[in-house]
Amino acid sequence: MTSPVATPTADMFDSPSAYAAALQQFLSTDERAKPYIGYRPHSLEDSASHLTGLQALLFDSGWSRLGWPHSAGGLGGDPRFRAAMFQTLWNMDMPIPEPFTTLEILVPVLLVFAPHLSDALLPGLLRGDDTWAQAFSEPDAGSDLASLRTKMEPDGEGFRLTGQKVWSTFGHLSKRSVLLARSGGPGHKGLTMVLVDLDQPGIEVRPIRAEDGENHFSEIFLDNAWVPADRVIGTLGQGWAIAMYMLQWERGAWGWLQQGRFHQRLQQAVELGTPNPDFAQQLGHAYALSAALRLTTKQTVERLAREEQLGPEVSVDKLLLIDAELATWDAIRAYLGPRFEADDSLQWLRHEYLFSRAAPIYGGSQEIQRTLVAQRVLGMPRD
Ligand SMILES: Cc1cc2nc3c(=O)[nH]c(=O)nc-3n(C[C@H](O)[C@H](O)[C@H](O)COP(=O)(O)OP(=O)(O)OC[C@H]3O[C@@H](n4cnc5c(N)ncnc54)[C@H](O)[C@@H]3O)c2cc1C
């Protein structure tokens, strides 16, 4: 059976929840969606290749194009449509294709700071024909990102890049990467953001194996790699300001996406395990934190939909995310007990548990977020 709505558009729905209801009907009736319901990945690579089909289905049927402007290959509407799509996928026990998380971070930046690249590059990215990475961190520049050293020097109609990046999520599976490099003097004013093709001479991408045995991220080595001038995002020296703009999506929109996962996993764990009052408090605490994350990030998504510029308060979303992610997985592990450790069919759950340990680090560490909230939201003194 095919979709009840051939090509949905934003004006067909008077609210994101009406859109969510129609999407749910599509997913539960369209045969092409069936292989993805209840899908459990064997590995990251397996998930990446299998879920390309889901990403293409959502794009071709129009559902994932809502919430993005026409210049990106979208069908109009604001980010609340994307938020409703993520929630619907979780509700249906369908996985979110990993590239969607990168889209939430990179596409808004391209739309604002590099509109000249949108028409040509974004539709393929939304559909999943291309995957992009984010290459900011370096071996000696993570929290202190403004000290990064990758050099960007003018050369003809473009620039040459030399340096090393690390922890680029899915860098080895990506065709391109948004990259932050030093085009000027020291400090944040000397930084520029560019979009680089990774499959070119002068670039080597090496996967990094994480604790769960999966290649989550990569090192990227740049040796005189060339990037044309029209791949500069924003202007020379604007890289830091753009990275700060990006963070509101990375911390807010990502938080919304993840809260759906936590609610879903808590529910699944309760159904998998044997009722035991000893764990009620721990499960309830994790649920309360996930609910707090849901309420906070819902407001953030609504503010993003109103095109408000978010400030340091978005670090609160990230802090709530850390607490909810750790508490959810601690509670699930405790509740399922030995089964969690030993049951072969729960390997996917163990992978998610191990990934959750990175929550206090990715997207800006917990300590840095606390400092931002203390100083820039609460106005506490620096010492
Ligand atoms: C799962 C995952 C995915 C990631 N994906 C990407 C990606 O796609 N692209 C990318 O560019 N990077 C990515 N990163 C890297 C991430 O952004 C960095 O790990 C993070 O910014 C911290 O930097 P660092 O690892 O260099 O740690 P450091 O900055 O060396 O920090 C080490 C410890 O010291 C603490 N610390 C540092 N400075 C201070 C301070 N001033 N005050 C108090 N405490 C401090 C930190 O909180 C931390 O606990 C990813 C990381 C993870 C875990």
Q: Which atom of ligand 1 is nearest the CA belonging to 133?
A: 8
First-last CA distance in the chain: 64
Whether the CB of 218 sits within 6 Å of ligand 1? no
Q: Where are the domains of the chain?
A: 10-127, 132-237, 240-377
Q: Are 137 and 165 in contact (CB under 8 A)?
A: yes
Closest CA to 67 of 105, 16, 130: 16
Kindly tell me the burial class for residue 150, based on how many C-beta atoms sit within 10 Å of its own C-beta (0-12, 13-18, 19 or more).
buried
Report how far residue 177's alpha carbon sits from residue 194's, in angstroms, rounded to the nearest whole number: 8
Residue 301 structure tokens: 């998504």
Give domain 240-377's CATH superfamily: Butyryl-CoA Dehydrogenase, subunit A, domain 3 (1.20.140.10)
Q: What is the per-residue pLDDT for 5?
A: 52
List C-alpha distances in Å: 93 to 223, 265, 267: 44, 9, 11
Predicted model pTM? 0.94
Q: What is the per-residue pLDDT for 1?
A: 42
Secondary structure (DSSP) of 63-124:
GGGTTS-GGGT-----HHHHHHHHHHHHHTT-PPPTHHHHHHHHHHHHHHH-HHHHHHHHHH
Residue 81 structure tokens: 């449509």
Report how far residue 147's alpha carbon sits from residue 224's, in angstroms, rounded to the nearest whole number: 20
List C-alpha distances in Å: 203 to 6, 171, 226, 338, 342: 42, 11, 9, 45, 41
pLDDT digit string (tens) for the chain, length 383 residues:
444 456 788 889 989 999 999 999 999 999 999 999 999 888 888 888 899 999 999 999 999 999 999 999 999 999 999 999 999 999 999 999 999 999 999 999 999 999 999 989 999 999 999 999 999 999 999 999 999 999 999 999 999 999 999 999 999 999 999 999 999 999 999 999 999 999 999 999 999 999 888 999 999 999 999 999 999 999 999 999 999 999 888 888 889 999 999 999 999 999 999 989 999 999 999 999 999 999 999 999 999 999 998 999 999 999 999 999 999 999 999 999 999 999 999 999 999 999 999 999 999 999 999 999 999 999 999 87
Q: Which of 250, 271, 308, 367 is catalytic?
A: 250
Active-site residue 250, yes or no?
Answer: yes
Q: What Rg value do the Cα atoms of the chain yield, rounded?
A: 21
**DSSP secondary structure code for residue 141 in this structure:** B
Report how far residue 270's alpha carbon sits from residue 72's, in angstroms, rounded to the nearest whole number: 40
Report how far residue 292's alpha carbon sits from residue 325's, in angstroms, rounded to the nearest whole number: 12
Q: What is the per-residue pLDDT for 232?
A: 98
**DSSP secondary structure code for residue 46 in this structure:** H
Closest CA to 78 of 57, 119, 108: 108
Q: What is the per-residue pLDDT for 382?
A: 87
CATH 2.40.110.10 fits 132-237, yes or no: yes
Secondary structure (DSSP) of 289-327:
HHHHHHHHHHHHHHHHHTTPPP-TTHHHHHHHHHHHHHH
Whether the CB of 360 sits within 6 Å of ligand 1? no
Q: Which atom of ligand 1 is nearest the CA belonging to 358?
A: 53
For residue 293, report the distance from its CA to the centre of ligand 1, in Å.
Answer: 22
Report how far residue 89's alpha carbon sits from residue 37's, in angstroms, rounded to the nearest whole number: 9
Task: Decide which of 1.10.10, 1.10.540, 2.60.120, 1.10.3720 is the CATH code for 10-127.
Answer: 1.10.540
